[in-house]
Amino acid sequence: IGNPVVGCGGSTLLGYIGIDTIIEQMRKKTMKTGFEFNIMVVGHSGLGKSTLVNTLFKSQVSRKSAGWARDEKIPKTVEIKSVSHVIEEGGVKMKLTVVDTPGFGDQINNDNCWEPISKYINEQFEKFLKEEVNITRKKRIPDTRVHCCIYFISPTGHTLRQLDMEFMKRLSHSVNIIPVIAKADTMTIEERQEFKQRVRKELEMSGIEFYPQKEFDDDMEDKSDNDKIRETMPFAVVGSDKEYQVNNKRVLGRKTAWGIVEVENPNHCEFAQLRDFLIRSHLQDLKEVTHNIHYETYRAKRLNDNGGLHPISTNGTHDSNL
What are residue 260's DSSP bridge partners? 255
CA atoms within 13 A on the CB side of 205: 9
Please give the Cα distance from 146 to 125 (Å, whole number).
Answer: 9
Please give the Cα distance from 6 to 9 (Å, whole number).
Answer: 8
Q: Give the footprint of another protein on this chain (CB under 8 A).
A: 45-47, 70-71, 74, 106-111, 154-159, 161-163, 166, 183, 185-186, 188-189, 198, 254-262, 265, 267-268
Residue 144 phi, psi (nearest 5): -105, 10
CB of 142 to another protein, least distance (A): 34
| Residue with smaller CB distance to another protein, 157 or 293 | 157
Angstrom CA distances, 50 to 109, 152, 163, 236, 243, stand at: 24, 11, 20, 16, 17
Cis status of the peptide bond prior to 311, with omega within 30 of 0:
no
CB of 72 to another protein, least distance (A): 9
Largest CA distance in the chain: 72
What are residue 99's DSSP bridge partners? 40, 82
| Residue with smaller CB distance to another protein, 47 or 148 | 47
CB of 165 to another protein, least distance (A): 9
| Residue with smaller CB distance to another protein, 147 or 254 | 254
CA dihedral 223, 229, 233, 236 (to 10 degrees): -170
CB of 166 to another protein, least distance (A): 6
| Residue with smaller CB distance to another protein, 65 or 186 | 186
| Residue with smaller CB distance to another protein, 104 or 128 | 104
| Residue with smaller CB distance to another protein, 100 or 185 | 185
Amino acid, single-letter form, for residue 264 = E
CB of 239 to another protein, least distance (A): 12
Q: Which residues contact 27 (CB under 8 A, 6 or more apart)?
A: none
CB of 7 to another protein, least distance (A): 54
CB of 312 to another protein, least distance (A): 34
CB of 77 to another protein, least distance (A): 12
Please give the Cα distance from 143 to 229 (Å, whole number).
Answer: 27
| Residue with smaller CB distance to another protein, 41 or 47 | 47
* CB of 244 closer than 8 Å to CB of 251: yes
| Residue with smaller CB distance to another protein, 142 or 259 | 259
Residue 224: CB atoms within 10 Å = 10
Amino acid, single-letter form, for residue 143 = D
